[in-house]
Amino acid sequence: MLKILHTSDWHLGQFFIGKSREAEHRAFFGWLRDTITAQQIDVLLVAGDIFDTTTPPSYARELYHQLIVDLQPLGVQLVLLGGNHDSVAVLKESAELLRCLNTTVVPGYATEHSNHLLTLRNKAGEPAAVLAAVPFLRPRDLSQRADFRSSSGVDGADKQLQLQQQISQVYQELYQAALQQAEALSPGSPLPVIATGHLTTVGASSTESVREIYIGTLDALPASAFPPFAYVALGHIHQAQKVGGTEHIRYSGSPLALSFDEARQQKYCLQVSLDAGTNTNTVQVEALPLPCFQPLLSVKSDLTSLPAVLAPALQNLSDGQRLWLELVLTGDSALLSDVQLQLEQLLAPLPVDLLRLRRERPATAAGITDSGLSLQELTPADVFAARLAQEELSDELQQRMSQLHQQALELLQQAEAEEQS
């Protein structure tokens, strides 16, 4: 039996609208240590986005290295994957040293298959599975291969199709190589072959429905493109969910809510149990619910109703906790010129930190410019939605336009992160 704890998207070093997440990450790491001990976990698998930026603050690096040191007495094997937020150079700088601490870091893509194949061992030190570890695949990384280099004169759509085909080919090749290694380690009774990856995902479901999830960068690479791994541990999407309704291809989600959009999500780590010689139908996956380390709340309310709206959340706070609040002001309150002062007076006696204030645009307003909102109170999605509302389009076309806008925004953010690295 091999027990794996699948997690991802830690985003160490994130500042949440000016607030440090250091205390939350320390609390999460304490939960990890306790869970690894209680559940007798053999392997801790982190599927990318360990850090929030390519230049993480020094305290985030300290947390990262201290966790690895703290886990050594537990005898757990660590596998850490580079994500799109991670710097290959930052992860690589300590990778060789961390090998001495039973930790394998796979920061970026390398053409040699051996760099991506790992033998996972149980507590007795016996080989129990083979892992194909695939970090975030950047086009420039894939272009290291002569057969993956782009030809001149290829348009954007064809380049996108090439990238999807290349990603699929990488997984197929590593699957075949992992099968060979599994057979060599246990002739006649090959070990399970699993994979982990960090993939830009388009159209991921916010619920565990059977609707197919697409994986790619702009259009879609269907989940069916994965080879028949016994389990695929994915990172990048922040809500835990199945892929295509399957039990064995999963996103673990992030341990912390990384935006107010995630405030109501229950966060999880996934415990994966498998035996040598098993297949995808017998792998067991259990979602382990995480405690809420920092309460977040996003509400719509006018000033008069706000204390009553906040009351249930405040009653659930532990001693010393404070509520981080996003408030969307509604009604006449949204039009008050001194609303900031009134809010400060209203919230001063309460354990509440107002991190973001927005005003609901009146339904009769012709557009954002008439609403009195400042740019600080708007997201790119708000601006695009307001502009879209001025057009006479079908619901289907509006939905498609919104999806394309979100994809373009993700590509822009990805390009900015790559420039920083």
Select from 267, 327, 328 the least CA-distant residue to 294. Answer: 267
Would you state the pLDDT for residue 365?
44
Work out the percent of the chain whose per-residue pLDDT is above 70.
85
Would you state the pLDDT for residue 372?
54
Residue 392 has pLDDT above 80, yes or no: no
3 state SS of 398: helix
Domain shared by 265 and 342, yes or no: no
Would you state the pLDDT for residue 210?
32
**Residue 302, CB half-sphere, CA atoms under 13 Å: how many?**
8
> Averaged over 212-221, what is the pLDDT?
52
Q: Which domain-ending residue is among 272, 289, 306?
A: 289
Domain shared by 103 and 166, yes or no: yes
Would you state the pLDDT for residue 245?
79
Would you state the pLDDT for residue 204?
53
> Averaged over 57-84, what is the pLDDT?
96
Q: Which domain-ending residue is among 254, 274, 289?
A: 289
Q: Which domain-ending residue is among 253, 272, 289?
A: 289
End-to-end, the C-alpha distance of the chain in Å comes to 40
Strand order in the sheet with 221-222: 201-202, 214-215, 221-222
Domain shared by 247 and 322, yes or no: no
Domain shared by 277 and 317, yes or no: no
Would you state the pLDDT for residue 149?
73
Would you state the pLDDT for residue 333?
76
Taking only the tens place, the pLDDT of each residue in 222-278 is 778 889 999 999 999 899 998 877 889 999 999 999 999 888 899 999 999 998 655
Taking only the tens place, the pLDDT of each residue in 73-89 is 999 999 999 999 999 99
> Averaged over 9-28, what is the pLDDT?
95
Select from 235, 243, 249 the least CA-distant residue to 199. Answer: 235
Rg (CA), the chain: 23
In the numeric block, the tokens 């006449």 are attached to: 332
Residue 330 has pLDDT above 70, yes or no: yes
Domain shared by 303 and 266, yes or no: no
* Confidence class for position 212, pLDDT limits 50, 70, 90: low
Segments of 199-332 assigned E as strands: 201-202, 214-215, 221-222, 232-235, 241-242, 249-251, 268-274, 284-289, 296-301, 323-329
* Residue 100 CA to its chain's centroid (Å): 28
Domain shared by 151 and 285, yes or no: yes
Domain shared by 274 and 311, yes or no: no
Domain shared by 258 and 328, yes or no: no
Domain shared by 277 and 324, yes or no: no
Structurally, how many domains does the chain consist of? 2
Taking only the tens place, the pLDDT of each residue in 118-129 is 999 998 899 999
* Confidence class for position 370, pLDDT limits 50, 70, 90: low
Region of poorest pLDDT, from 220-234, 278-292, 300-314, 385-399: 385-399
Could you tell me the pTM of the whole model? 0.82
* Confidence class for position 19, pLDDT limits 50, 70, 90: very high
Would you state the pLDDT for residue 52?
94
DSSP 266: P
Residue 202 has pLDDT above 60, yes or no: no
8 A C-beta contact, residue 171 and residue 134: yes
Domain shared by 43 and 8, yes or no: yes
The pair phi, psi for residue 116, each rounded to 5°, is -115, 0
Taking only the tens place, the pLDDT of each residue in 292-314 is 999 999 999 999 899 999 999 99
Give the integer Cα–Cα distance in Å for 366 and 163.
42
Would you state the pLDDT for residue 368?
54
Domain shared by 363 and 239, yes or no: no
As a whole number, the mean pLDDT across the chain is 85
Domain shared by 276 and 349, yes or no: no
Would you state the pLDDT for residue 206?
46
Residue 3, strand partner residues = 273
Would you state the pLDDT for residue 217?
46
Higher-scoring residue by pLDDT: 381, 293: 293
- Residue 48, Cβ density class (10 Å: 0-12 exposed, 13-18 middle, ≥19 buried): buried
Give the integer Cα–Cα distance in Å for 215 and 217.
7
Domain of residue 147, residue span = 2-289
* Confidence class for position 102, pLDDT limits 50, 70, 90: very high
